[in-house]
Structure 1
Amino acid sequence: MSRIDYTSDLKLLISVKGHPYDRNAFAELFENIEDVSYTIVEQPASQAMFSPILAKDYDVHVLYDMPGLDFTTQPPSLIDPPEKFVSDFEDLLELGHGLLFLHHSIASWPTWPKYAEIVGGRFLYVPSELRGRPCMDSGYRHDVTYTAKTHSWGALADGVPDTFSMTDELYLYEVFEQDVIPLLSGNYPPISDNFYSAAHAGLGRMFSNADWPHPQGSNYLAWAKSYKNSPIVYIQMGDGPSAYENPHFQKILSNAIAWLGSAESLAWAKKRNQS
């Protein structure tokens, strides 16, 4: 979009960079959502937009970025988030602001433990500790065709069929199932035989699961939760055009944006924070 949209009901700030993606196809997703305008800002410049002063001009922050990992080394080096960004982010969460995390954003800031608590899980590129226990590196698999099941939960499920087919990259990752409200789950078995090791890939051994006995994982593909006074949605879908073009993914995305930008979701998160 070349023109500036001053009139849309909802304004999005979209943070990107850190993982390859089709920029034009990704932007087209948001062009097609009615009454929504968006501004795409790349990392690390987008970190400034989490300051509550700058964030107030937007209704929802969408994270499709993956900062905190330097892939110029093997294995990738882990980078700490700047102190000001952490402080701004936590202030924004306390104030109350809708946050939508997409696909690879769940791997961001691996040295910041609270980030996983905010999102509701973690994709690990290297073995690490999570919630006080050792965890193996996570798994990935591209171009999987599977059936997604919708978990009915208010407006987030409106217009989405009970089940639908999807072709996309899937993760074998850590999900804090007890802390989230499932929105979507998949029927592709989350076991190590079906995925490749992220740590192997980080060492240049793509598409390998040798000597990688990862325990069975979660089949959750999307969830809702809150952190402090902020409503949060994570959607694991969205690796590339095969996902972007799926009408059911488009509907889930637009539902999540509408809900996160509503007074209802902010009141819901605040109430949960007070209970």
Structure 2
Amino acid sequence: MITGGHGYDVLNFHRFFRGLAGVDAYIQHMDDFASARANVRDSYDVVLFYTMLMEGPTDDGGPWYAGRPRTALEHLGETEQGIVLLHHSILAYPHWPVWSEMVGIQDRSFGHHPEQTLRLEIADPDHPITKDRNAWEMADETYMMDEPGVDSEILLTADHPRSMGAIAWARMHRRARVFCFQSGHDNLTWANPGFGETVLRGIQWASQRI
């Protein structure tokens, strides 16, 4: 699980992931991920991003401890290692085509609205992430931005004047399954059971466990 570029509630973030059954989370900054050996990075079943790094990425000009982030990120998709993009990570690297392709949105310019109340509707009742689930209400920060393209499977939607319509979607990045979830700003959202179930199933699906 990769962080960087945006502050967050560390204690409750760790508590949230410790509470997900069957998930052994190794939360680390992007510098640590990018400076790790390739075999270590490849050993994770899923790489979950909670980053909002807006510059680059580049392998040049950074401090020694930052590693080679561009190389590390360009490697994603070369294997079947799953990828999960949570909340502001869908906004990261806005001018990098590789990340835009991973997210499935080419123009990722955005507006944001904190503390909105959404009703999340099931858009695809047959997908493993949303199968046998019902709509639920949740408070979260929302984004106004372009919708995912036709090569994404829309899983959750919301009809809200201050939010994009797609809230969660699934896609492929080369050989890797990718799960994108707009939600997840803070503990107000993390404490919602519907959010937790979605993240858990997203991780399971990306890792090909369901």
TM-score, normalised to structure 2, is 0.87
Q: Which residue number in structure 2 is paired with residue 160 of structure 1? A: 133
Q: Give the ranges of 4+ consecutive aligned residues of structure 1 lying more than 3 Å apart after TM superposition.
A: none
Q: In 2, Cα distance between the equivalents of 1:263 and 1:90? A: 24
Q: Which residue number in structure 2 is paired with residue 127 of structure 1? A: none
Q: Which residue number in structure 2 is paired with residue 269 of structure 1? A: none
Q: Which residue number in structure 1 is paired with residue 77 of structure 2? A: 93
Q: Which residue number in structure 1 is paired with residue 3 of structure 2? A: 16
* 1:1-275 to 2 correspondences below 5 Å: 14-49=1-36, 52-68=38-54, 79-83=55-59, 84-121=68-105, 130=107, 137-151=109-123, 152-161=125-134, 163-189=135-161, 194=162, 218-262=164-208
Moved more, 103-112 or 219-228: 103-112
- In structure 2, relative to structure 1, the CA distance for the partners of 1:33 and 1:159 (3 Å cut) is farther
What percentage of aligned pairs have identical amino acids? 24
Alpha-carbon offset, residue 48 of structure 1: 3.1
Please give the secondary structure, in 2, of the residue aligned with 1:225: strand
TM-score, normalised to structure 1, is 0.68
Q: In 2, Cα distance between the equivalents of 1:168 and 1:180? A: 23
- In structure 2, relative to structure 1, the CA distance for the partners of 1:40 and 1:188 (3 Å cut) is same
Alpha carbons 1:157, 1:183 under 8 Å: kept: yes
Alpha-carbon offset, residue 27 of structure 1: 1.3
Alpha-carbon offset, residue 240 of structure 1: 0.6
- In structure 2, relative to structure 1, the CA distance for the partners of 1:87 and 1:46 (3 Å cut) is closer
Q: Which residue number in structure 1 is paired with residue 63 of structure 2? A: none
Per-residue deviation, residues 180-216 of structure 1 (Å, max 9, x unmatched): 1001000212xxxx4xxxxxxxxxxxxxxxxxxxxxx
CA RMSD of aligned residues (A): 2.0
Q: Which residue number in structure 2 is paired with residue 125 of structure 1? A: none
Give structure 2 stretches of 5+ with no counterpart. Answer: 60-67
Per-residue deviation, residues 227-255 of structure 1 (Å, max 9, x unmatched): 11000000011001110010011101111
Bigger CA radius of gyration: 1
Structure number having the greater helix percentage: 1
Q: In 2, Cα distance between the equivalents of 1:262 and 1:249? A: 20
Number of positions where the alignment pairs a residue of Structure 1 with one of Structure 2? 201
Per-residue deviation, residues 147-195 of structure 1 (Å, max 9, x unmatched): 110122332114531x110110000012333121001000212xxxx4x
The residue identity in structure 2 corresponding to 1:23 is V
